[in-house]
Amino acid sequence: MSDTRLSVFKTYKLYVGGKFPRSESGRVYEVTDSKGNWIANAPLSSRKDARDAVVAARKAFGGWSGATAYNRGQILYRVAEMLEGRREQFTAEVAAAEGISKSKGAAQVDAAIDRWVWYAGWTDKIGQIVSSANPVAGPFFNLSTPEPTGVVVLVAPQASSFLGLVSVIAPAIATGNTVVVVSSEKSPLPALSLGEVLATSDLPGGVVNILSGRTAEITPSLAAHQDVNAIDLTGADAGLAKELEIAAADNLKRVLRPRAAQDGDWSADPGTDRLTAFLETKTVWHPIGM
């Protein structure tokens, strides 16, 4: 038997509704490293794939938003556990995608794992931080409590692909939203591999849906989609962000605009801004004494 063995190349697929479909278009595009060397072929998502992802996210929203905050925290922690077990794989993918050393890739993966744990700890606490009992002139209780916005489209950061990706996904789902993620066009492989981790982490299918392809091709239809409630423009350049914000206005979506000063350094303390970005406030009046 020959000592020469051919490697088995990985077939990357989308992650939609808890399953791993190929793109409906049947198209792929080449993903290269920082030196232009071929790494793999990634699915080139179509508008049909985007619509399927929104349908899956909407179907999953009721169950996920209705789960207890404690349960959501357990599941996010489980994601961190599973990611820890595949640390070497993600280190290699991140290093190749971003043209950095393996030690720097490992540091970014470690930070991403810690970021999942951070947001897992906030799931059953953020409600207490942003809720309030409001003073009113009358015999009433007036209580304000947060609720998830709904289906959120996340345009993932183009740079710092993995830590930035986790930093936009985790807070959105921690508060009960479901998401459609448009991964980094240049470096989609860590995002597509993350789908495999999510699928084995007790996360219900459809809570996170991951697409890869041409950002400018996929996002306009998502921004205009009537069943999308919010969009995070973090990974969109200025021209595309303006176009998507205009499209999103058609059904009054909540829009999170790119914030270069904060989003450029994903290693900084994340705070609670992204946890509250896709929460709505519900105020309830109740008569005293009844």
Please check whether residue 59 lies inside any domain of the structure: yes
Please check whether residue 143 lies inside any domain of the structure: yes
pLDDT value, residue 261: 42
pLDDT value, residue 160: 65
Domain that holds residue 78: 28-287
CA distances from 192 to 64, 207, 217 (A): 22, 15, 18
- Averaged pLDDT in 10-residue chunks for the chain of 290 residues: 73 95 93 85 95 98 96 97 94 87 92 96 92 82 88 90 92 97 93 95 96 95 96 94 94 84 71 92 81
pLDDT value, residue 191: 94
pTM to 2 decimals?
Answer: 0.91
Please check whether residue 227 lies inside any domain of the structure: yes
Q: Work out whether strand 230-232 and strand 254-256 pair parallel, antiparallel, or are unpaired.
A: parallel
Amino acid at 272: T
Count of domains for the chain: 1
Are 91 and 105 a contacting pair, CB within 8 Å?
Answer: yes
Please check whether residue 5 lies inside any domain of the structure: no
Please check whether residue 247 lies inside any domain of the structure: yes
Please check whether residue 81 lies inside any domain of the structure: yes
Backbone dihedral angles phi then psi of residue 280, each to the nearest 5 degrees = -110, 150
Please check whether residue 21 lies inside any domain of the structure: no
CATH number of the domain at 160, please: 3.40.605.10
Please check whether residue 3 lies inside any domain of the structure: no
Say what the alpha-carbon torsion angle 196, 156, 254, 220 is, to the nearest 10 degrees: -100
